[in-house]
Amino acid sequence: MRPDEWGPASLTLSGRRPAGSWKGGRTVSEAHAVSSSQASASPDVAPVGTVQDSAPPRHLAVIPDGNRRWAARHQVPVVEAYRQGADRVHDLMRWCDQAGVTFVTVWALSQDNLDRAPDAVASILEAAIGGLRRMAATGRWPIRTIGAVERLPAEHVAALRVIAQDTAQAPGASLNVALAYSGRMDIVDAVRSLARRHSTDALDSSDVEQLLGRYLSTAGQPDPELVVRTSGEQRLSGFMPWQTAQAELYFTDTPWPDFSHDDFTHALRWYAGRQRRFGR
């Protein structure tokens, strides 16, 4: 899949693995690639650390890309890639619990993807909901959806509602599943809600910025500090544009169904080496 899809090694200071290492990873922080020759002079890049060197991100956001390409490479039906991708989300939540990450957002289906053939959308939703039901059965993680979920078929909306209700009091990391999600519409909906509840004439720009976050789909949660996108694409594709303004961006060539604990650990080690100065 694309952004909608379910879809520790040595490395240079840029976040790229050296030639010949076991999986190619590419990282970009604040939308700027840093080459290894520049890294020593960059005030924002520190040597890659270990996960223990600093606190993990409180909120990890993931664009799980590459399911269809994985299916083509392995000559299997794409629905099998979606199922494997759903299993990786289950693994991801276990790894996040172990690492101390407390919020996770996974972009399972974009609003644009609803324009795909109905059978293709149904395959994504069935794999995603099947995976979420298996996760809910463990009682480990609170699971909620964000996005224009009302645009999904009624039976899927009902299933997602049950999953959210059944897991609301679970003790583990909180999982946001972005379905029929558009980052721009997230902001538009927040602006509409803000305008309905406040007299905008009485607000200055700093008030609006502070209040707007209360009406986004992730209200009450910290913004993501780290975004991981798999399968080689190096863009956010409209994913959480407001919330990711200060996020570190990590890109890996690994397709989502192959994303492993080593890949996860490598991303956190790279994040641990970042010096987050926020312009100061």
The H or E element spanning position 60 is strand 59-63
Q: Which of 4, 67, 113, 223 is catalytic?
A: 113
**Among 2, 27, 1, residue whose Cα is nearest residue 12:** 27
Residue type, 25: G
Q: Quick check: is 65 catalytic?
A: yes
Biggest CA pair distance of the chain: 60
Q: Which of 65, 186, 223, 263 is catalytic?
A: 65
C-alpha distances out from residue 204 to 71, 199, 219, Å: 51, 11, 21
34, two tokens: 């840093």
C-alpha distances out from residue 49 to 52, 156, 176, 219, 234, Å: 8, 42, 28, 31, 23
Q: Quick check: is 201 catalytic?
A: no
64, two tokens: 């799980």
Task: Provide the 10 A C-beta neighbour count for residue 171.
Answer: 9
What is the Cα–Cα distance from 72 to 88, expressed in whole angstroms?
Answer: 18
What is the Cα–Cα distance from 106 to 184, expressed in whole angstroms?
Answer: 17
| Catalytic residue ranges | 65, 113
